[in-house]
Structure 1
Amino acid sequence: MITHFQFKSLFENKEMPGWHFSFYFKKQKFTGIYHQNGEIQWNSEHPSDEHIEQLKEQIHELMLFHVYEK
């Protein structure tokens, strides 16, 4: 389960799409960039192959809720 999920705009003009995000999973911090098309670019070591698809889905749902469904 993702904990301490945070995001902020990549750009000073917050109307432009693109967001930095960070979260903890199994006591490890992960960071990345969430692009408008849903692509995730990892800035930290990416999660293990065992968990990466599940985490991508959770990040996508969180971004949809927090950014697009304000």
Structure 2
Amino acid sequence: MKTLQQIEPRLPLLDSSLGVSVYPSGTIVISQSGSYYLTENLTVSSGNGITINASGVTVDLRGFTIRST
């Protein structure tokens, strides 16, 4: 039986993940197609919480929130 990772590989929304940049304001920018997920609540000081600059992107919030301060 295949694992979920084999069926739908997903990357955490972390600065160390391929195609992901995290800015000091907290904004996350996704620049490559793929499936991503939040690992914790996201708080941004300005701008967008998540900016997607590629097609074919899915984001799973996994019950976490995105908020602005």
State if a TM-score over 0.5 links the two structures: no
Larger RCO of the pair (alpha carbons < 8 Å, separation 6+): 2
Question: Which structure shows the higher helix fraction?
Answer: 1
Q: TM-score, normalised by structure 2?
A: 0.30
Pick the structure with greater CA Rg: 2
Q: TM-score, normalised by structure 1?
A: 0.30
